[in-house]
Amino acid sequence: MAERLRPRLCVLVALIVPALSAGCGAPPATMELIAVARKGLADASTLEKSRHTEAVSRLDALKAALDSAFDADAKLVEAGKIQDAAGKPVPLSAEWVISARRGYAAARDALAQQRRRLEAEHACHLDNLSAAEESLEMAGGLILQHYALAGQARQIIHALGRRLIRE
């Protein structure tokens, strides 16, 4: 009977020994490293959200400042305190309002475009952090599975060894 088990045992050992030697690291230590990496990702996510909030606030402040500047310019023109190239006061006319509005509209459009880029960049960063988190989750699961399988393989080898010694 032992003669029949030897070829099977050889095949089993040939398959399992590489698996056992591949998992030399202790899962608790590896899982601790994964936990630290996950904490780092959580911190990076928090930092990204904070950075995004600050950038949006700056853009909103620029937009508000732009609106205030237009209002202030209109009041200065109305008061006769803005002069043309010849030194004459610029009249508050429909032409001035249309011309000024075009300039301010271009600046507002630039801010809106910057806001869209900021939102797209933020979404990309959060997607990347989420993908990294998912990868760490899968790696942890694979490590635990490997460790469980390696432990089962050790038990099988020991049991087969004891069985072969008895026979």
What are the mean pLDDT values of the chain's consecutive 10-residue runs (167 residues total)?
43 46 62 90 95 97 94 93 91 91 93 97 95 92 83 74 69
Residue 5: the pLDDT is 38
Residue 11 amino acid letter: V
CA pair distance 68, 103, nearest whole angstrom: 14
Residue 10: the pLDDT is 43
Residue 7: the pLDDT is 44
- In whole angstroms, how far apart are CA 41 and each of 48, 96, 136? 10, 53, 10
Residue 146: the pLDDT is 82
* Long-range contacts formed by 3-6: CB under 8 A, 24+ apart: 5/160, 5/163, 5/164, 5/167, 6/164
Residue 153: the pLDDT is 73
Query: How many CB atoms lie under 10 A from the CB of residue 91?
Result: 12
